[in-house]
Amino acid sequence: MIRIEGIAAFVAVVEAGSVSEAARRLRLSKSVVSERLAELEKTLGGTLLHRTTRKLTLTEDGTAFLERALRIIHEIDEASASMAERRGTLAGPLRIAAPVTFGRMHLGPALYPFLAEHPEISLTLDINDRRVDAASEGYDAIIRNGPIADSRLIAWKLAPSRRMLVASPAYLAKAGTPRTLADLQEHRGLFYTNRGVADWRFQTADGTEVVRAHLSMGMNNGDMLRDATIAGLGIALLPAFIAGPAIREGSLAEIDVGDKPEPEFIYMAHPEGRNPSAKLRAIADHLRKAFGDPPYWERR
């Protein structure tokens, strides 16, 4: 019979990269971890790891077994967390992906008090502007700023996200201030490339209108997009949570062209078909209250 302790030891060794580091993480002796790994290999009838003095590498059998082992450990953790939740305790692992700029400026400060209040939650927060696939990459949820469009995800709105056309005072003094969407197309634009297209979408009386300014620069990070706008390289369409501080400081100015950008949201989304845990729902509720409606970064 395969023992859970052996599977846990195998997963820990793979994740840690060595038996000694796995032993430290598991708070066991190195000899105990080695014995559990050897017993697992004997039970399975195959070698899972190649061991040298320098490193450990997965064998073909080890690679095949790892996927199932990870799933088993995850299910055990989830079962333990579910029992804790039934007793009224939020506990267990969570893996969430979130964008860099929003994570640094607003998500982190909102999450820290919640995690301090619920110390039995083990949160892995992947801060990355990459558009991750929540289902295939094993995330419990993703947090994003933008329109809600992916039908494979169940989205919970956390806060509205107003976007603002902004430029530096120096750029506007040199190039002029656009007053209409037609004016805007003659200007230089700075675009967030993770959206896939270099355009801006506005709500007009006749429906959605797409504006394509002359591409000045594209980038996949909100901080750098703001900084490039402050440097006078063109006009950008930025969320209020990024542009607000720079507008208050005077390094950016908001532009009014008569029509508003299409509405967007800060939202949390989890893969369709998965039953979201109580701790994930609790985090979503906490973030809604922490951000407010309208969110605090707009009230300022």
pLDDT greater than 80 at residue 253: yes
64 — pLDDT class (breaks 50, 70, 90): confident
Residue 86 has pLDDT above 70, yes or no: no
pLDDT of 128 over the 90 cut: no
Residue with tokens 């979201």: 276
Are the folds of 4-85 and 163-263 the same? no
pLDDT (mean) for 34-40: 88
More confident of the two residues 161 and 18: 161
| Higher local confidence (pLDDT), 12 or 89 | 12
User: pLDDT at residue 192 above 70?
Assistant: yes
The pLDDT value recorded for residue 150 is: 56
Alpha-carbon distance 34 to 256, whole Å?
Answer: 66
Structurally, at CATH architecture level, domain 92-161+265-299 sits in 3-Layer(aba) Sandwich (3.40)
Select the highest-mean-pLDDT range: 6-20, 116-130, 138-152.
Answer: 116-130
Q: Above pLDDT 70, what percent of the chain?
A: 91
Answer CATH for 4-85 from 2.30.40.10, 1.10.10.10, 4.10.490.10, 3.40.50.11810: 1.10.10.10
pLDDT band at 81 (very low <50, low <70, confident <90, very high): low
Res 155: pLDDT:
87
pLDDT value of position 111? 96
pLDDT at 117 over 60: yes
Q: What's the pLDDT tens digit per position in 220-246?
A: 899 999 999 999 999 999 999 999 999
- The residues spanned by each domain of the chain are 4-85, 92-161+265-299, 163-263
Mean pLDDT of 62-83: 77
How does residue 108 score in pLDDT terms, banded at 50, 70 and 90? very high
pLDDT digits (tens, 9 = 90+) for 268-298: 998 775 667 888 999 999 999 999 989 999 8
Residue range 163-263, CATH number: 3.40.190.290
Q: Please tell me the predicted confidence (pLDDT) of residue 290.
A: 96
Which of 33-37, 73-77, 187-191, 254-258 has the weakest average pLDDT? 73-77
Yes or no: say if 41 and 78 are a contact pair by the CB < 8 Å rule: no
pLDDT for res 179: 94
Task: Determine the pLDDT at residue 105.
Answer: 94
